[in-house]
Amino acid sequence: MLRPLRLIITSLVLIAGVAPARADSLKPEEAASHVGKTATVCGLVASAKYAVGSAAAPTFLDFGKPYPNETFSAVIFGSDRKKFGTPEMSLREKQVCVTGEIRLYQDKPQIILRDPKQLSER
């Protein structure tokens, strides 16, 4: 009787040991030290803007501090914008997490959002 129970417990321990651990999220000010890596960055959207007249019509979600002093940005290009609704209005001053590859643009870290699954509210 104890043998099957012991086998089940051992199996569960082994499975738990090889299950991937969920990566911790980064604060916006930590993103710059993780350039080139895929990560989740969480923080307050301090400012947001839809630059409809600019090339590629990007929407910027600026974390940490409002533009131009943001510490990190999430960018949604116009070609993907319809998937996200109006994030410059709905996400401003909200706690948000974004996941993707951290890249530098003009010496500031950013993640490009192409799919709404990359974004979640906290």
Domains of the chain as residue ranges with CATH? 22-121 (2.40.50.140)
Is 63:119 a contact under the CB 8 Å cutoff? Answer: no
Report DSSP state, residue 26: B
Is 103:38 a contact under the CB 8 Å cutoff? Answer: no
Render pLDDT for 64-120 as a digit per residue (tens, 0 to 9). 999 999 999 999 999 999 999 999 999 999 999 999 999 999 999 999 999 999 999
What pLDDT does residue 23 have? 54
Is 112:98 a contact under the CB 8 Å cutoff? Answer: no
Q: pTM higher than 0.85, yes or no?
A: no
CA dihedral 104, 106, 108, 109 (to 10 degrees): -20
**Residue 60: which pLDDT band, with cuts at 50, 70 and 90?**
very high
What pLDDT does residue 24 have? 83
Render pLDDT for 5-45 as a digit per residue (tens, 0 to 9). 444 444 443 333 333 333 589 999 999 999 999 999 999 99
Give 71's contacts (C-beta < 8 A, 6+ positions apart). 28, 29, 31, 32, 63, 64, 65, 108, 109
